[in-house]
Chains A and B, each alone.
Chain A
């Protein structure tokens, strides 16, 4: 188990490590947000479905963060384990997409965000299944099945609500207007992406944009919704510059490990 120490850690700036942190952190924070529905979903069956999705994402985050720590060690860094990476990094060292740290919103926003993320992750895991890193490829091979189901379930809800009552349609439209600008960040490639592509670790995320847009457009069309026009706004969570919301999530998520370092069940 982790050393009994609650001090913050800093993580290697190695580009492979950063690439993995973006994936693992996005899964982890999305899971934390979905977990907020536990006991609060509109019906008990959906409550279980949302918790299932969150647990799948936590499993993916564990695998990817563990691998990030192993690569960090291999590059001569300190080599943190999954718990240290999850519970002892500060906000600026988190590399998740901003979209997952936004408040969970209503059920429509939750389902739309889940559909957007799951579509992206499905495409990403499909490519990562061919990664030159065998560990990552193995994680991806399992995760792609989970992402496929998350996408199907959430996209069905986007269609049901978008093509539902005036109330549900209005909520889904509001959710799209709110969340759409944050999706641009996903496909902004940088040196981390170039490195990953050159090393055959994984695709540039920008390479996934066309497929992602096509799938989202199909879902929106079925739901009778229009996708908003692109705007110049760019969120910057992948670079560690987060919205005001992430600090609160980490405070809640990390409190126990910070207060009782190395505590286990």
Chain B
């Protein structure tokens, strides 16, 4: 929590004083807060979709800030957050080996079926 309090100039915090922002000139927080990825479900029945990231000290604050940063205009009914460093990602260098072989296998796609009109969100 050391980052939260900032580092004030000595004697700059008179309660009721000018309210100068405490540490703008003294430097950045001692330690960056961890980054969190934010996923928002826009309505019941749909998937949570990644919509961005934010910094927060812990999970509870991350959820609150996700609400403030990403769901201000009724975008969602549910929010997930996950520490960015907990996500395991594929290596961009493996892109060719991972993904290119799929390009010419059209039979893997269910594109030869007609979906009834009443089926949404497939």
CB within 8 Å of B: which residues of A? 36, 40, 42-43, 45-46, 48-49, 52, 102-109, 149, 152-153, 156, 160-161, 164-165, 167-168, 171, 174-175, 177-179
Q: Contacts A45-B56, A105-B16, A106-B13 known; A168 to B22 CB distance under 8 Å? A: no
* Top 4 A-B residue pairs of the complex, sorted by shortest distance between their CB atoms: A178-B15, A168-B5, A49-B68, A45-B65
In the complex, 29 of the A-B residue pairs with CB atoms within 8 angstroms, ordered by the A residue number, are: A42-B4, A42-B23, A43-B33, A45-B55, A45-B56, A45-B68, A46-B65, A48-B68, A49-B68, A102-B16, A103-B16, A105-B17, A106-B13, A106-B15, A108-B5, A109-B19, A152-B64, A156-B64, A160-B1, A160-B57, A160-B61, A164-B2, A164-B5, A165-B1, A167-B5, A167-B8, A168-B5, A171-B13, A178-B16
Distance to closest chain A CB from B53 (angstroms): 10
Q: Is there an interface contact between A156 and B60, defined as CB atoms closer than 8 Å?
A: yes
- Measured between beta carbons, the chain B residues less than 8 angstroms from A107 are 6, 22
**Across the interface, which residues of A come within 8 angstroms of B7, CB to CB?**
167
Q: Does B77 belong to the interface (CB within 8 Å)?
A: no
CB atoms of A165 and B2 under 8 A apart? yes
A52, B68: Cβ atoms under 8 Å? Answer: yes
| B21 in the interface (beta carbon within 8 A) | yes
Kindly identify, within residues 35 to 91 of chain B, every residue whose CB is under 8 Å from any CB belonging to chain A.
Answer: 54-57, 60-61, 64-65, 67-69, 72
Q: How far is the CA of A12 from the CA of B64 in the complex (A)?
A: 41
Specify the chain A residue showing the minimal Cβ separation from B22: A106
Query: Is A103 touching B4 in the complex (CB atoms < 8 A)?
Result: no
- The answer, yes or no, to whether B18 is at the interface (CB within 8 Å) is yes
Q: How far, in whole Å, are A160 and B72 apart by their CA atoms in the complex? A: 24
> A102, A160, A177, A179: which has the most chain B beta carbons within 10 Å?
A160
User: Which B residues have a C-beta under 8 Å from some C-beta of A?
Assistant: 1-2, 4-8, 13, 15-19, 21-24, 29, 33, 54-57, 60-61, 64-65, 67-69, 72
Task: For the complex formed, measure the closest distance between the CB of A110 and the CB atoms of chain B, giving whole angstroms.
Answer: 8
Which B residues lie within 8 Å of A153 (CB)? Answer: 64, 68
| Contact A36:B19 (CB < 8 A) given known A42-B4, A43-B55, A153-B64 | yes
